[in-house]
Amino acid sequence: MELGVVDRKRSTVSKIISYQVLTIIIMTAGFALAGGAYALSAALGGAAAFIPNLYFALRIHKSAGQEARKIVNSFYAGESGKLLLTAALFFMIFQLPNIEILPLLAVYIAALSVFWFALLMR
């Protein structure tokens, strides 16, 4: 019974990550119509959302099946790592020349909003 719950959760997480990737690709392609700097900024905004979320998902997945205390500790460590990774990525992104803030933030926010839409769809 527990294995089925873990499989269902994993498939939900996989779907959310897939939808994030799809959102990032579609929006980056849209911004590419406006030029290369817009496409690069959009892709970097997507990466700043996707990479920390993937790290968090992998960290939580690794703790599946352990005792509750270890899962909670893994959750907090994963969330802390996610925040630090996000800050580091934005720091590195803003060191690059010709970054366009609108596409960067639009794709970043859109990729993060996938979680909210996934909650509404359930």
pLDDT digits (tens, 9 = 90+) for 70-112: 889 888 999 999 999 999 999 999 999 999 999 999 999 999 9
Share of the chain above pLDDT 90, in %: 64
The pLDDT score that the predictor gives to residue 1 is 41
Per the domain annotation, does 2 fall within a domain? no
Per the domain annotation, does 106 fall within a domain? yes
CB 60 within 8 A of CB 79: no
| Segments forming the whole domain that contains residue 13 | 9-121
What is the reported pTM? Answer: 0.84
Per the domain annotation, does 52 fall within a domain? yes
CB 102 within 8 A of CB 35: no
Per the domain annotation, does 34 fall within a domain? yes
Number of separate domains in the chain? 1
Residue type, 66: Q
**Nearest alpha-carbon partner for 119 in 19, 36, 48:** 19
Per the domain annotation, does 4 fall within a domain? no
* Distance (Å, whole) CA 76 – CA 59: 10
Per the domain annotation, does 25 fall within a domain? yes
